[in-house]
Amino acid sequence: MTDLAKLPVTVITGFLGSGKTTLIRQLMMNPGGKRLAIVVNEFGDVGVDGEILKSCAIPDCPAENIMELANGCICCTVADDFIPTIEALMALEPRPDHILIETSGLALPKPLLKAFDWPDIRSKITVDGVIALADAEAVAAGRFAPNVAAVDAQRLADESIDHETPLSEVFGDQISCADIILLTKPDLAGAEGVARAREIIAAEAPRSLPVVEVAEGVVDPRIILGLEAAAEDDMDARPSHHDDHDDHEHDDFDSIVVEIPEQESPDALLRAIEELAKAHNILRVKGYAAVSGKPMRLLVQAVGARVRHQFDRPWGASEPRRGRLVVIAEHDDIRRDVIEAALGVVTEPAE
């Protein structure tokens, strides 16, 4: 059993668009009797995920218990951001029973676990468990499933071929560090896709891991909270591609924030995002838009060319009806002029 004096923390990791925010929203509404606090680490400087969560705050997880870290990868800003945030949450009255940490889609979990050895907090908190979300449809398509033998053979046959992409390393590290895998969007993958995704995850995992299918973030909190894994003391069982490196870089990825004009209808915007993803290898688009004649804000979440949307809340009386989207892609694919043009942003010519 873990030391009951320590505050349990669950690290929720997963590739871009795997459903982390949706899962946390469900846990907020069904916390299993626990008073929750949440740390959101965003990629980009528009607080979309934090806004989504704060908009559904409830007594067991009030808005003041939800904190955002937007200054970079959570595991790269330990002293400046992460430690002060954890200390602030521990000082709340009443004190939370459990902290959830939503990492960015590009975060490597193992360096974050090492942060829990920081002298100021290591005697006060414990990592109850690491939860990795994996998009069943994407995994089944083979996007993040490195076959080491086959890739090594390709590399030996052609020196110009990388043995592994940065995306597969992120995926592999998240699986390797996890205590339990949540296989999301099984309805989109179908039975064969789910079976294939399970095979890929099993091949990637360094040990036998439970895999639970989850639709729309709905899962019994007893399955993922209260694992008592003490993951900070179990590092050797969680291998990483980056174990030989003191730190890691995210230079392969970049993001921009695009302010978009009010839309006549959602359809044109959704088509534009879909075409942008197909033509320019955009990994992720998330944010919100204003639609003419609609009192509600349009929330947009896109993973590649798959775009989901919903009206999430009314615009405030003094709130400007202005849309903002975070666009994430590999570094070479981020071209602001192309992206803004595709999203209908008119740029004034330089004088």
Q: Mean pLDDT throughout 220-249?
A: 78
Pairing of the two strands 7-14 and 66-69: unpaired
The CA distances from residue 22 to 18, 30, 49, 295, in Å, are 9, 12, 9, 23
Q: Which amino acid does the sequence have at 115?
A: A
Cα-based angle 145, 17, 316 (whole degrees, multiple of 5): 175
Greater confidence, 79 or 14?
14
Q: pLDDT of 47-75, one tens digit each?
A: 445 555 555 555 555 666 777 766 555 55
Q: What is the DSSP string of 140-154?
A: HTTSS---HHHHHHH
Neighbours of 314 (CB within 10 A): 11
* 188 touches 33 (CB < 8 A): no
How far apart, in Å, are the Cα atoms of 269 and each of 1, 212, 288, 310, 348? Answer: 51, 34, 11, 13, 21
- Average the pLDDT over 232-256 and give the result: 69
Distances 228 to 213, 238, 249 between C-alpha atoms, Å:
22, 16, 31
The highest-confidence range among 22-26, 106-110, 164-168, 332-336, by mean pLDDT, is 22-26
Higher-pLDDT residue of 348 and 218 is: 218
49 or 100, which is more confident:
100
Cα dist from 70 to 14, 94, 103, 207, 249, whole Å? 17, 26, 11, 33, 16
Going by pLDDT thresholds of 50, 70 and 90, the confidence category of residue 153 is very low
| Residue 5: other Cβ atoms inside 10 A | 8
pLDDT at 147 over 80: no
